[in-house]
Structure 1
């Protein structure tokens, strides 16, 4: 399903205590499958209570480059207006740090 040079990264963050995601999962997670050769995000999924949220988040990330984190964050800020916007950004930054460590090692 994924090429041998793809990696799977999880980024996590906290959400507000009254957020349904916090009540269900305790933490917000985003999973990214990334092509190590092109740095393209092949797939994305997040912990959400509504399936549509995960599909929409996937549409933001899929096809984007991990080499352009500012562009991804800007798109989140311009398109996602759910209560987990900050959590998505923090989780993506966390995933980006992990990805950078893998690529640099």
Structure 2
């Protein structure tokens, strides 16, 4: 039986103190809609405060592949200079690790 192609994966990370996002959320939430079989990102969203940051996040993930996580991480390290950068990368790494578990057939992915 072929499972549905699109899957939703989320990841969370603690935000640094003293930034606007922390005042609103305390953690960053990242959600990605991914192709189960190829790793391609169809849609992405993060609980960032400004629309510019949200757009940057989405525009730099949609069309990328979770199987190439090192490239995604490098892009954020080299091009995103918001205070939430480390938290974004951490939350995305959680998404990537969950994706690997899903592909490996682990049943209790949380």
**Under a length normalisation based on structure 1, what TM-score does the superposition of the two structures give?**
0.92
1:96 aligned partner: 96
1:29 aligned partner: 29
Q: Secondary structure at the match of 1:9?
A: strand
2:57 aligned partner: 57
What is the alpha-carbon distance in structure 1 between the residues aligned to residue 81 and residue 37 of structure 2? 32
Larger radius of gyration: 2
Deviation at 1:101, TM superposition (A): 1.0
1:32-43 correspondence runs (5 A): 32-43=32-43
2:76 aligned partner: 76
Structure 1, unaligned runs of 5 or more:
none
What is the alpha-carbon distance in structure 2 between the residues aligned to residue 78 and residue 26 of structure 1? 24
2:15 aligned partner: 15
What is the alpha-carbon distance in structure 2 between the residues aligned to residue 68 and residue 84 of structure 1? 22
Deviation at 1:17, TM superposition (A): 1.6
**Under a length normalisation based on structure 2, what TM-score does the superposition of the two structures give?**
0.88
Deviation at 1:99, TM superposition (A): 1.1
Deviation at 1:51, TM superposition (A): 1.3
Q: Secondary structure at the match of 2:98?
A: helix
Q: Secondary structure at the match of 1:28?
A: strand
Structure 1 segments of 4+ aligned residues over 4 angstroms from their partners: none
Give the root-mean-square deviation of aligned CA atoms: 0.9
